[in-house]
Amino acid sequence: MAVYYSLRHDTIVSTTLDWQIAHGIGADFPLLMGTDTVTPPRIHLLRYDVAVDRVVAYVPLLANLALETLDPGAATRKITDRHGDRLPIQVCLDAARREQEVIADVSGLAPEVLAFETDLKGKDFYHSIGDIQTGRFQTGKQYLDAYRSQGYGRLADSDEEWDQHTVAVRHVLRGQPHPTTSFTETGPTVL
């Protein structure tokens, strides 16, 4: 469900125009290990509607400009990554373009937040985002019925709760009006 949380106030952030990149980062986020317990971090997807004049840099453009300033064969040269492996510069350029990274000033902006608990329900909610965003399922009941029919009986909770989650995901990812919030498009949406 999209709710506002008391998070630290961001100023300049590295973000993306592609929700799937942000989702992948959250899905791959490592566990935080303490002395006696393993505590998975709580995942939040934040959406900022950012005016163009707040964009500090668009990384794919910077990658293209960097390549233009180097000689024509620069993309085929190799660099050393943080693990000591050699990889072609073209791999870095492709990643920069694919990730659609935006550096933006979000100071004073309140994000829309999708927060996911660390329990089983939170993980199910998190992994359902793609099916909801693509329109594969229009309601929480459709989602639950489809997965329960495949033997995933562990998906608990009420249809109503899943319907609320579906509405919140659609609102944050597609900009569809949420019943309890107003929404206006002010520029690029970054996650």
Residue 169 has pLDDT above 50, yes or no: yes
**Are 44 and 124 in the same domain?**
yes
What the block records as the tokens of 120 is 């089983």
Average pLDDT over residues 176-191: 44
Average pLDDT, whole number, for the chain?
Answer: 77
**Cβ–Cβ < 8 Å for 23, 129:** yes
The answer to whether residue 3 sits within a structural domain is no
The answer to whether residue 77 sits within a structural domain is yes
Domain with 112, as residue range(s), is 12-50+106-190
**Are 118 and 184 in the same domain?**
yes
**Are 80 and 20 in the same domain?**
no
- More confident position, 119 or 170: 170
What integer pLDDT is reported at residue 187 of this predicted model? Answer: 44
What the block records as the tokens of 150 is 């495949």
CA dist 20 and 120 (Å) reads: 21
Percent share of the chain, pLDDT over 70: 76
Percent share of the chain, pLDDT over 90: 13
**Are 65 and 110 in the same domain?**
no
What integer pLDDT is reported at residue 67 of this predicted model? Answer: 84
